Structure 1
Amino acid sequence: MNLQAELITIGITAGLALGILISCLVFFGIRWYKKWSNSTRSASEGTSTTLPIRTNGLDTSTDFSASITSSISMSENVKSYSPFSWWSCQSKDHFASQSGIPKYSYKYVRSLLSTREIQRATQNFTTTLGQGSFGTVYKATMATGEVVAVKVLATDSKQGEKEFQTEVVLLGRLHHRNLVNLVGYCVDKGQRILVYQFMSNGSLGNLLYGGEKKLSWDERLQIALDISHGIQYLHEGAVPPVIHRDLKSANILLDNSMRAKVADFGLSKEEAFDGQNCGLKGTYGYIDPAYVSTSKLTMKSDIYSFGIILFELITAIHPHQNLLEYIGLAAMDHDGIDGILDKQLVENCDIEEVRQLAIIAHKCLHKSPKKRPSIGEVSQVILRIKNRRQHRPLSRGLSQLEDQNDELSRTASMNHKQSG
């Protein structure tokens, strides 16, 4: 009897061990097959490339914010991997496909913008557009005649390497008219290079604080609306949503039509980080105090930064020049926001519109992130302000026409009485 029980126990144990072994073999077999099929597919699509160029070109940016379905189809391959998992992979085909940027043969890419041309050009650039933790940004004209901004990673930049990875991954799947377009990138011979569409009017920060060009109230209101649309796409249109994490006037760029685009996604995080503990990153003066105190990154952190930008548009006071103190004093003063209005706007704007924009900006800066409005709500308020402004001349014109008709009627009536 005991022998029979022992045999049964041995049989069960052996069966379990065999089942576990078979399960492991199946699991690793499936993983091997997926890797093999991916590499086979990549090989069949063409030669690997170090500089993929986006098909929609330099001056175009497709807007998928109106269709969530389109965004899902664009990013369904992105959701299944960790944002930086591709970087440890040696296959450049894998790198290109995971970033979402189309691949081409090296011969085709070289005809548009070769690695050698970029490296030679960056050594001879005399026009520097900016300098950051990533490296230097240059202005260049490619062989096709297109003007671009070339961001070259500094060889000693530790933070820039990670930012480079994030930019390629995110901008490979983010497409909106109010986001700066990544034209291409280069990973070759130790070089890390990003190529963007050129924004001829520079950054909002330069225009507000250092540029010779004066921004009208109409332009500032349109810039605010453009920024809100860009953030709204990141928060509500992108799949998965993205927290920018470094919104500031220096990262808002303007094209030749003075339309604003959000730039610099090196510090951005996907929605998975919303409400999670995250290393403190950003720019002093724009960072959400709640994020500083809790290290928890949320979408409302972007809302706070946008509120600061809105007050910059109203006051032309930089956050490093005690903007928050001025805002606090204005809130207690009888004149309110009127007292710190940018001098260029005095008597050149509708003060009621300025006050309405200041009200929503104040809400963006609320101490409690939960009580701050969503970017969709902020965008609607700015749009209503702008629409009222557009309709006001029409209503004013109709009113003047009615007054003229009344005057003509009175004149005709008086003439009729006199003739009688």
Structure 2
Amino acid sequence: MAHKANLVIIGISVGLALGILIALLVFCAIRWYKKHAHLRRCTNERSVTTVPIRSNGFGTSTDFSASLSNTVAVKGSESGRKNSQFFLWNNQKKDRLASVSGIPKYSYKDIQKATQNFTTILGQGSFGPVYKATMATGEVVAVKVLASDSKQGEREFQTEVSVLGRLHHRNLVNLVGYCVDKGQHMLVYEFMSNGSLANLLYGGEDRGLNWDERLQIALDISHGIEYLHEGAVPPVIHRDLKSANILLDGSMRAKVADFGLSKEEVFDGRNSGLKGTYGYIDPMYITTSNFTMKSDIYSFGVIIFELITAIHPHQNLTEYINLASMSPDGVDEILDKQLAGGCNIEEVRNLASIGHRCLQKTPRRRPSIGEVSQAVLKIKQRRLAKEDTMSFASKDLSRAVSRIEDQQVELSMMASSKDRVTE
């Protein structure tokens, strides 16, 4: 009996041990499954909340990601997420900027030497001072340095590098390098020897702008914006078009500059607040906080009237435009005095008509930039056609005069020969 009792006790003990072992194994399996399921969930959340922006241009580059609003619940406070994103940006910004296609990175020492220790200043903008520099290769460039008290900052710097790193067009200022070193942020651009459109119109420059140049500048700007709106993938909205951000090279070709406030036309769920420059901002944008391509069209309309009148938006340009719109030839009254007698008034009126369409209060009534570009081009083409017609007419007249002169010579020779025969 005692032996049987011992066997029962041993069996029960073994059974309990096996049961406990099985329970432990099941518990560990459940813990492992939950942990990996949580990791997969986190990975999915990150893939949904961060979508890489597409890239294009000469070569491809990975652009900065745009955060999209979503319905996935993310643990932790909003401030925690922002701090985490800021920490990641600080640790990865150099690698991200270095990945931008075709844009070399310079050291602080390189820029310091090229600018002669930052003594060759060209001007001052909202971003900071701009210096003329000669790089080691002999290339002359302009260096824009982010000032410590600038209203713009790292976000604008990042936007400028990422946008111009993938966009290339003859009517966009070319970014040739950047510098993030010793706490400094600098952008290196191609040198635009004729400065900004604003300086040429209002800066008391010795060199004025004739009508041919102004018409070409309007066409150049339209081509630059057309590339941003209709050629870039995804489309880009400039958001700060103004005469100070239109630069001219040695051949007086205009290029759009300063992309610090630019935005790709994708919804990112964030309200960035009112951006732009007083006098150029779309009134509908002020009302709705919704900046679209048609807001850029409005700003371009203001620039068109700057080219016609040489009146700055801060000098009540809008009031002058409204008065001029009351009659078909109203623009004649506000035409820049420098152009008086030196331009085709019909071309001026046609360009003003395009400007009025761009300044329509309702965005949907404004033309697309492609339509604007074609309208400006037609003005220039009509001009060239007239010049060709006049040239042909002049050549025909010259040939007719030449034939008459030849005939007169022949008649004179015939008369002299008759006189000799008579004698």
| TM-score interval, smaller chain | 0.7 to 0.9
Aligned pair in 2 of structure 1 residues 140, 240: CA closer, same or farther (>3 Å)?
same
RMSD between aligned residues: 3.6
Instruction: Provide the secondary structure at the position in 2 that maps to 1:150.
Output: strand
Structure 2 match to 1:183: 176
Aligned pair in 2 of structure 1 residues 407, 193: CA closer, same or farther (>3 Å)?
closer
Instruction: Say if 1:89 and 1:95, in contact at 8 Å, map to a contact too.
Output: no
Aligned pair in 2 of structure 1 residues 164, 290: CA closer, same or farther (>3 Å)?
same
**Larger mean Cα displacement after TM superposition, 231-240 or 22-31:** 22-31
2:376 is the counterpart of 1:394: no
2:80 is the counterpart of 1:95: no
Instruction: Say if 1:135 and 1:157, in contact at 8 Å, map to a contact too.
Output: yes
- Listed as ranges, the matches of 1:303-318 within 5 Å are 303-318=297-312
Instruction: Say if 2:197 and 2:243, in contact at 8 Å, map to a contact too.
Output: yes
**Larger mean Cα displacement after TM superposition, 127-136 or 341-350:** 127-136
Instruction: Provide the secondary structure at the position in 2 that maps to 1:282.
Output: coil
Instruction: Say if 1:277 and 1:297, in contact at 8 Å, map to a contact too.
Output: no
Letter in 2 for 1:91: Q
2:229 is the counterpart of 1:228: no
Post-superposition Cα deviations, 1:62-102, rounded to whole Å, max 9, x if no partner, equal: xxxxxxx9937855743865599797151356323554445
Instruction: Say if 1:278 and 1:296, in contact at 8 Å, map to a contact too.
Output: no
Aligned pair in 2 of structure 1 residues 394, 172: CA closer, same or farther (>3 Å)?
same
Letter in 1 for 2:91: Q
Once the two structures are TM-superposed, the CA of residue 236 in structure 1 deviates from its matched residue by 0.7
**Larger mean Cα displacement after TM superposition, 272-281 or 138-147:** 272-281
User: Quick one: distance in 2 between partners of 1:325 and 1:289?
Assistant: 14
Aligned pair in 2 of structure 1 residues 355, 259: CA closer, same or farther (>3 Å)?
same
Aligned pair in 2 of structure 1 residues 121, 395: CA closer, same or farther (>3 Å)?
closer
User: Quick one: distance in 1 between partners of 2:269 and 2:313?
Assistant: 25
User: Quick one: distance in 2 between partners of 1:273 and 1:74?
Assistant: 25
Structure 2 match to 1:167: 160
Post-superposition Cα deviations, 1:325-361, rounded to whole Å, max 9, x if no partner, equal: 1111112257411111111111111111111111011
Instruction: Say if 1:300 and 1:372, in contact at 8 Å, map to a contact too.
Output: yes
Letter in 2 for 1:314: I
Structure 1 match to 2:245: 251
Letter in 2 for 1:147: V
Q: Please, what TM-score do these two structures have when normalized by structure 1? A: 0.75
Instruction: Provide the secondary structure at the position in 1 that maps to 2:154.
Output: helix
Sequence identity of aligned pairs in percent? 63
Once the two structures are TM-superposed, the CA of residue 117 in structure 1 deviates from its matched residue by 2.9
Q: Give the unaligned 5+ runs of structure 1.
A: 1-13, 33-68, 104-108
User: Quick one: distance in 2 between partners of 1:241 and 1:136?
Assistant: 30
Equivalent of 2:319, from 298, 322, 325?
A: 325
User: Quick one: distance in 2 between partners of 1:278 and 1:29?
Assistant: 28
- Indicate the structure (1 or 2) with the bigger Cα radius of gyration: 2
Aligned pair in 2 of structure 1 residues 227, 357: CA closer, same or farther (>3 Å)?
same
Post-superposition Cα deviations, 1:172-200, rounded to whole Å, max 9, x if no partner, equal: 11111111111111111211111111100
**Larger mean Cα displacement after TM superposition, 270-279 or 132-141:** 270-279
Structure 2 match to 1:71: 56
Q: How many residues align?
A: 361
Instruction: Provide the secondary structure at the position in 2 that maps to 1:283.
Output: coil
Letter in 2 for 1:71: N
User: Quick one: distance in 2 between partners of 1:316 and 1:73?
Assistant: 37
- Listed as ranges, the matches of 1:4-403 within 5 Å are 22-26=36-40, 71=56, 74=59, 77-78=62-63, 88=89, 90-91=91-92, 94-102=95-103, 114-119=107-112, 124-157=117-150, 159-210=152-203, 211-273=205-267, 278-333=272-327, 335-402=329-396
**Larger mean Cα displacement after TM superposition, 201-210 or 324-333:** 324-333
Once the two structures are TM-superposed, the CA of residue 128 in structure 1 deviates from its matched residue by 2.0
Instruction: Provide the secondary structure at the position in 2 that maps to 1:140.
Output: strand
Aligned pair in 2 of structure 1 residues 298, 89: CA closer, same or farther (>3 Å)?
same
Post-superposition Cα deviations, 1:194-231, rounded to whole Å, max 9, x if no partner, equal: 11111000000000112110111111111111101110
**Larger mean Cα displacement after TM superposition, 398-407 or 317-326:** 398-407
Instruction: Provide the secondary structure at the position in 2 that maps to 1:130.
Output: strand
Post-superposition Cα deviations, 1:260-292, rounded to whole Å, max 9, x if no partner, equal: 010001111110159985411111111111111
User: Quick one: distance in 1 between partners of 2:338 and 2:407?
Assistant: 48
Letter in 2 for 1:295: S
Instruction: Provide the secondary structure at the position in 1 that maps to 2:337.
Output: coil
Instruction: Provide the secondary structure at the position in 1 that maps to 2:208.
Output: coil
User: Quick one: distance in 2 between partners of 1:158 and 1:317?
Assistant: 26
Letter in 2 for 1:252: I
Q: Please, what TM-score do these two structures have when normalized by structure 2? A: 0.75
**Larger mean Cα displacement after TM superposition, 88-97 or 17-26:** 17-26
Structure 2 match to 1:49: none
Instruction: Provide the secondary structure at the position in 2 that maps to 1:313.
Output: helix
Instruction: Provide the secondary structure at the position in 2 that maps to 1:381.
Output: helix
User: Quick one: distance in 1 between partners of 2:108 and 2:346?
Assistant: 53
Q: Give the unaligned 5+ runs of structure 2.
A: 1-27, 47-53, 69-81, 416-423
User: Quick one: distance in 1 between partners of 2:156 and 2:288?
Assistant: 23
